[in-house]
Structure 1
Amino acid sequence: MKQSASYHPALDGIRAVCVVFTVAAHVKDTPWFINGSVGVDVFFALSGWLITTLLLDEWNEHGRLDLRAFYVRRFFRIIPLYALTISLYGAAAVTLSVVLGNTAEVDNFLSGFVYFSTFNGEYMNHQDGLLFGHSWTLGIEEKFYVLWPLLLPLLILGKRLAIPFLFLSICLLMVPAFAWGLLLRGYAGLGFGAMAAFMAWRSPACRQSLKGSATQPVTLALVLGAYLLSLIQPHPFLWNIAISMSAALFIGSIWLSGGTTRIKAVLEFNPFVRAGRLTYAVYLTHVLVINVVVLILSRFTDDPNWALSFALSYSFSLALGVFLNRLIERPFINFGRKLARGSRDSFPLRDGSKGFMLMMRRKDRQRGARS
């Protein structure tokens, strides 16, 4: 399948690494040297960068945003597989309750159903809806997808109202949370990614800094440094936010670098890229798979080994991800793109301009040629 010009396989490599940490975090008795919570912090930064960059590219080409096309693509990218996954978790809760001889799993699932079925999992009490509790990240991302395309044009046009309105929106979203720290992490990560992309678009100096030959190893070292500090100096959410900030710069350097670097070559390793394309399906279903694996292993031992539980859980999650990607995810993504393309066909090009970014890229190349 032909990939979009905006497709960067290294980002799928980053996704693949992150979801490994996420699965590891949800397997019982995770070793001390694995802080699996940081996977979602990198995801947030990546989403902020990617969505903002794609929106800015569209603005450059057309002078406005096709919000209908954007929301259509997001809907068919997220909702069909998400709805199916909720059904799978509901069926699993019933099955577990029958096997265990009590209604605890069903009660727990129902206690969180209203929240995660409406993409408000971040507002659940952390004791409710545990079987699908990781949906809190999707709740934060969905609100970002709804609000950010509406606010971004204000920033582009230099409207002074944009920043206070953005700040007020985030404050209102955080007010009813039981775990406000999760929201702080989420919106900080998305914000770092979005602002890095916006500054790279607006400022040639920022763009040149991110493209510098030393930027990738330096920003990667910052990510790894913050990760190590999260292990030896645990401060709730401090290092998670530091990881998001440094990850936003690292992702920007990967996106803007023209050639192949050693770091990009590793991230573009084909197995990483293939696994990264399954990230959404794996993320949605991995807790379900972990429960099944633990249930099976418990028949043979009272204390399942963590490494074995993790290896089986990750492997089966990938296998299920392949099935769901081919059966549900990819067909609906393509259908959403087709519907969005119909909107774009009637979307006028910006008269007399290839867009700010295209112009700046030409200037960057000219500057490089002179040097």
Structure 2
Amino acid sequence: MLQSIAEKRYHHAYIDGLRGIAILLVVVQHTYRALYLQLEAPMAFPFLGGFLTTGGLGVPLFFMVSAFTLFGSSQKRWEAESHPVRNFYLRRLFRIFPLWGFAVLVYGGLQHRAWQTLWINFSMLFGFGRYHVGLEVVDVQWSLFVEEAFYLFLPLVFSLIRCGRTAFYFFLVTFFGGTLWLQYAATLGVPTTNHFIEMFPFTHWYCFAIGIALHFWKDSSGIFQSREWGKALGIGAAVLFVALCRQPFPYNTGAVLILFVSAMHPDSWVGRLSRTRLFRSLGIACYSIYLTHPLLIETLTPALAKWIKQSPLSGLPFETIYTLWLPSFVALSLGLAALTFTFIEKPSVRLGKKCIHWLEARQVLRVAKAGTQ
């Protein structure tokens, strides 16, 4: 199993597994759509297609988990570090941009993009102009901009939210603000092409607010110490996910919210699943999988579809073909992601930690030197 790069004092095993569930949801949706468009094979149970296209819910789950973990770790670091805000941005810089820069170069190079376009993508400026169709070099990068935009304001948010009550107010503000943005942005002249309004950060910041609220709630609730609640949360997760996953946005977010809550309990089926080696490995490598799986889909799907059409498999229902293909794709995607995780993500995070340690040690020396004068 891959080893997490999170610091042990801030690490929870089920968080890795939740990220694994999130990335699997995303991969399921993208691989289903790509293969279905190539094969155009009939489905024995067409209603399943509606569930396979709900994998986009992995993205709000990512947002919730990200805010949950960062808020918890920042709360402790703010008390221990001399320059916590500076260190926060440095951690984000070394965590996100090395692999992102590599992805921009690879995808941009394959697409023969101009250097100016590559810079707009790498610098995250694309998020303000992504209503121009074709500006982005990676299909999934819109969510990266949403997350980075929230990180930009997280130190301010952290200074304002100190308890569950203010976290709940923050959720209400972001949810109401996001709803207003969705309904009225177009009337203010905001471009609507390329799903610009729906994918802009304002629309999704309530997901981060949910993650922050869960951070406070987990310590105040006793249900996670009760074995009886484990079974109840597991049943609730199954029922509510099926009931909510196909509801209109943003109400379908409740489907992954219940998964998150259920995963906190080690005795629920979601809690046990999120603590398995497979899902923890998927979660540890989720950033690499997220940025590399579109390339694998684009490369492998046409060749696979061509081979299937010429083989005895062509007579099988689409569900059977897809069930055979998905585990193979996940294994290939995890294998490729393990390489980028090992040789890009881990060294970059280690370098960031060394940089912060050096700056903190330098500050201690300055204070000590000033005290002797």
Once the two structures are TM-superposed, the CA of residue 122 in structure 1 deviates from its matched residue by 7.8
- 2:295 equivalent to 1:288: yes
In structure 2, the residue matched to 1:41 is 60
In 1, Cα distance between the equivalents of 2:283 and 2:292?
15
In structure 1, the residue matched to 2:370 is none
Instruction: From 4, 26, 46, give the equivalent of 2:8.
Output: 4
Once the two structures are TM-superposed, the CA of residue 157 in structure 1 deviates from its matched residue by 9.1
In 2, Cα distance between the equivalents of 1:13 and 1:31?
25
Once the two structures are TM-superposed, the CA of residue 74 in structure 1 deviates from its matched residue by 1.1
Distance 1:240 1:23, change over 3 A: same
Matches within 5 A, 1:230-245: 230=244, 234-245=246-257
In 2, Cα distance between the equivalents of 1:82 and 1:43?
17
In structure 2, the residue matched to 1:76 is 94
In structure 1, the residue matched to 2:368 is none
In 2, Cα distance between the equivalents of 1:195 and 1:342?
33
Does structure 1 retain, via aligned residues, the 8 Å contact 2:262–2:268?
Answer: no
- Which letter maps to 1:135? Q
Instruction: From 219, 222, 229, give the equivalent of 1:208.
Output: 222
Does structure 2 retain, via aligned residues, the 8 Å contact 1:76–1:332?
Answer: yes
In structure 2, the residue matched to 1:369 is none
TM-score by length of 2: 0.71
Structure 1: gaps (5+ residues): 95-105, 349-371
TM-score by length of 1: 0.72
Matches within 5 A, 1:1-371: 4-27=8-31, 28=34, 29=36, 31-34=49-52, 35-59=54-78, 61-62=79-80, 66-94=84-112, 114=120, 117-118=123-124, 120-121=126-127, 124-125=130-131, 127-129=133-135, 132-156=138-162, 167=173, 176=190, 178=192, 179=195, 180-182=197-199, 183=201, 186-200=204-218, 206-209=220-223, 211-230=225-244, 234-250=246-262, 253-254=264-265, 263-301=270-308, 305-345=321-361
Q: Greater CA deviation, 338-347 or 328-337?
A: 338-347
In 2, Cα distance between the equivalents of 1:14 and 1:241?
15
In 1, Cα distance between the equivalents of 2:24 and 2:125?
24
Does structure 2 retain, via aligned residues, the 8 Å contact 1:185–1:240?
Answer: no
Does structure 1 retain, via aligned residues, the 8 Å contact 2:100–2:122?
Answer: no
Once the two structures are TM-superposed, the CA of residue 248 in structure 1 deviates from its matched residue by 4.7
Once the two structures are TM-superposed, the CA of residue 93 in structure 1 deviates from its matched residue by 2.5
In 2, Cα distance between the equivalents of 1:158 and 1:210?
17
Once the two structures are TM-superposed, the CA of residue 306 in structure 1 deviates from its matched residue by 3.5
Once the two structures are TM-superposed, the CA of residue 335 in structure 1 deviates from its matched residue by 0.8
Once the two structures are TM-superposed, the CA of residue 67 in structure 1 deviates from its matched residue by 1.1
CA RMSD of aligned residues (A): 4.0
Distance 1:333 1:196, change over 3 A: same
SS in 2 for 1:300: helix
Q: Deviations over 1:199-244 (max 9, x none)?
A: 556xxxx34355544555444444433431246xx43214432134
SS in 2 for 1:133: coil
Distance 1:287 1:293, change over 3 A: same
In structure 1, the residue matched to 2:371 is none
Does structure 2 retain, via aligned residues, the 8 Å contact 1:47–1:193?
Answer: yes
In 1, Cα distance between the equivalents of 2:165 and 2:278?
45
In 1, Cα distance between the equivalents of 2:235 and 2:121?
38
Does structure 2 retain, via aligned residues, the 8 Å contact 1:111–1:129?
Answer: yes
Distance 1:158 1:265, change over 3 A: closer
Q: Greater CA deviation, 176-185 or 81-90?
A: 176-185
SS in 1 for 2:49: coil
In 2, Cα distance between the equivalents of 1:249 and 1:122?
33
